Amino acid sequence: MSAQRLSGKVALITGGTRGIGREFVERFAREGASVVFTGRSVDAGSQIEQEAKARGENVTFAAGSAASEDDVRAAVELAVSTYGSLTTVVNNAAATHLTGPGRPDTKVADVSTEVFDEIVRIGLYGTFWAAKYAIPHLIAAGGGAIINISAASSVLSITGRPSYQSSKGAINSLTRQIAVDYGQYGIRSNAIIVGFTNTGGEEMTKMVANEALMAPVRKTIMLPRLGLSSDIASGAVFLASDEGSFITGVLLPIDGGLTCHLEMPDTASAAALGD
């Protein structure tokens, strides 16, 4: 069995009860990290904690919302009091329940101030608070890693979702700012640009099964498959590990090539029209 890449690390993971967040919790624990993770679902969080402890892993659930500064601060303090230090933060929490097809994060002229505020509060403010309260502990630990989860739509906009895309764009800037301000203390700050990812779950399963919907999605991805939660977790483990110790200020796309091209007509074929 290979050595655990995160042995000795203590990680706080926000939004860890489902999808990519749950994959982070399970992978980080499997790689040897002690993990505190947050989420709003007490039932889901408690089950994940119990299953991890049954495997002999150090995993603790902190019920709370990334929209609450008090909850975020309490989660940071829980990590330190439970495991003695804090070396790693993964800011994954996002208001995905408010954005996407049929949800209230529509277009700028139509989205309500309340919806915009809630999405930004969970995604951007939650990320800011976790970093704000974690940084003194990372400095005390001699350095560490902050990994912010962003989205392809922060780089190339798609129709709708102005609140979500605004929060992710701001997270990209915040990521670089932390890298600039705290690199001298050995703190590395990076973001992962997540593309279309099959996270499982009932809604995603239905979406992936709808080929009429998925055909244009597959066309934007340069590789011949969809992304998986495990792909994103692999990137996060690398950035959190000592293997990524000289990487900071990076926005790392894990999107199958989605953000590396523009969806335009084939210019080579178009050139033939001039003959």
Which pLDDT tens digit goes with each residue over 24-57? 999 999 999 999 999 999 999 999 999 999 999 9
Handedness of CA 109, 259, 200, 96 (dihedral sign): negative
Residue 2: inside a domain, yes or no? Answer: no
48 with 25: CB under 8 angstroms?
yes
Residues 6+ apart with CB under 8 A from 160: 105, 106, 107
Domain of residue 137: give its range: 10-255
CATH number for position 127: 3.40.50.720
Whole-number percent of the chain with pLDDT over 90: 84
Handedness of CA 105, 103, 226, 66 (dihedral sign): positive
- Check pLDDT > 70 for residue 264: no
| 205-263 pLDDT, tens digit each | 888 999 998 898 899 999 999 999 999 999 999 999 999 999 999 999 999 999 998 77
Residue 169: inside a domain, yes or no? Answer: yes
Query: Can you tell me the distance from the alpha carbon of 3 to that of 111, in angstroms, rounded to the nearest whole number?
Result: 49
Of 63-67, 76-80, 201-205, minimum mean pLDDT range: 201-205
Catalytic residue annotation: 164
Number of domains the chain is built from: 1
Arithmetic mean of pLDDT over the chain: 94
pLDDT band at 1 (very low <50, low <70, confident <90, very high): very low
Residue 184: inside a domain, yes or no? Answer: yes
Residue 17: inside a domain, yes or no? Answer: yes
Residue 174: inside a domain, yes or no? Answer: yes
Residue 272: inside a domain, yes or no? Answer: no
Residue 275: inside a domain, yes or no? Answer: no
Average pLDDT (177-184) is: 99
